Structure 1
Amino acid sequence: MNPAYIAFDGDRRVAAGGLPEVARAAKQVHDRRKDAAILVFDGRTSALVDIDFRGSIDDVLARLPKLEVPAADEPAAPATPRGPGRPKLGVVAREITLLPRHWDWLAQQKGGASVAIRKLIDEARRASGDKDRTRLAQDAAYRFMTTMAGNRPHYEDAIRALFAHDRRRFATLIADWPADIRDHAVALAYGDQAG
């Protein structure tokens, strides 16, 4: 399981965990070394998180983005539900576009269109769960590697091995990278720390 957030100072991992803890540790590194090259990543997606390190630790923490990480099995809820739906149940009405034949088929289903669509989505999620998890893991590893290792030896070949599902070749190609970068790339791609 990858941490919620992770911070690097150059090639070295300096913190991992919740955003306030990571920001606090990164701020301490920043205060010790003004030339520190600190990058903070979302631990699941490898999206960069922008943190303003000016001022005191309290100032930094007060400016942190208000990010909520949805549970792995739940979609992110919109900030303010709007229009019809059942907000207390987490149901939010949204618009979808279907062809007339799709609406005709949905109208014939037991429970109506909404029930049929929810069942179809749940079935598709179960059927493609492993593929979806693999794709998301590859995307996160790709984003991280592009940012942290884009100029490293064998970067392009490692990306090819990642998307070809060739774990052994991937591990071999990144073996000489700095340990913290290598280990995090493996954890993102394959969900563990071993290559």
Structure 2
Amino acid sequence: MLPSHCIAFAGTELLAQGELIEVVRAVKAAIDRGTERSIALLDAATSRPVEINFTGTEEEVFQRIPRAPLRSAGRPKLGVVPREVTLLPRHWDWLAKQPGGASVALRKLVEHASRDARDADTMREARDAAYRFMHELMGDAPGFEEASRALFAGDGERFQSLVAEWPGDVRTHLLALAEPALGTQA
């Protein structure tokens, strides 16, 4: 599934950010102008690359972008997905004794664990998105390794000082991505 919000860089300069279609339009225009700089099209939140086939006309490019399915009227599906779970016999014995059985007990345990881990998950996701972004655009830059170490160590002040000389557009987006992981202000 393609993200709804993207960001594109031509080299280290911000080309566009916003809705997928608008960013794709800006990237296609840059390609058609014959830009010499490499273009990175990324999910704005996760920094994962967004794969789009830019060959042909703008209309042909847009036609190849998968559209999200429309929601049908009526009651939404619960989205229960059956999968295999492997546990020790004592775990199965305990689950069998729980009110509602194993499925209800497992869902409750997962809900509690996901609530308890929410802050840690947010920090990890922010750190990983920041790292993917800086690796994509600044992987060969001076100070990249040191900045990576500061990011993973959670040292916001050091991280900010190490990226202070990086190009402004890159630095601005990178600090915004890293802020939840480092507790710094972008």
Which letter does structure 2 place at the counterpart of 1:190? E
Q: What is the aligned partner in structure 1 of residue 96 from structure 2?
A: 107
Which letter does structure 1 place at the counterpart of 2:91? H
Alignment gaps of 5+ in structure 1 = 69-86
TM-score, normalization by structure 1: 0.82
Which letter does structure 2 place at the counterpart of 1:182? R
Rounded Cα–Cα distance in structure 2 between residues aligned with 1:44 and 1:98: 35
Q: What is the aligned partner in structure 2 of residue 83 from structure 1?
A: none
Aligned residues: 175
Which letter does structure 2 place at the counterpart of 1:93? P
1:126 to 101, 105, 115: 115
Query: How much is the aligned-residue C-alpha RMSD, in angstroms?
Result: 2.1
- Going from structure 1 to structure 2, the CA distance change for 1:21 and 1:88 (only over 3 Å counts) comes to same
Quick check: 1:183–1:194 contact (8 Å CA) kept in 2? no
Quick check: 1:137–1:190 contact (8 Å CA) kept in 2? yes
Rounded Cα–Cα distance in structure 2 between residues aligned with 1:36 and 1:28: 13
Alignment gaps of 5+ in structure 2 = 70-75
- Are residues 1:180 and 2:169 paired? yes
TM-score, normalization by structure 2: 0.86
Percent identity of equivalent pairs: 51
Quick check: 2:8–2:15 contact (8 Å CA) kept in 1? yes
Q: What is the aligned partner in structure 2 of residue 39 from structure 1?
A: 40
Q: What is the aligned partner in structure 1 of residue 9 from structure 2?
A: 8
Deviation at 1:194, TM superposition (A): 4.5
Rounded Cα–Cα distance in structure 1 between residues aligned with 2:68 and 2:8: 16
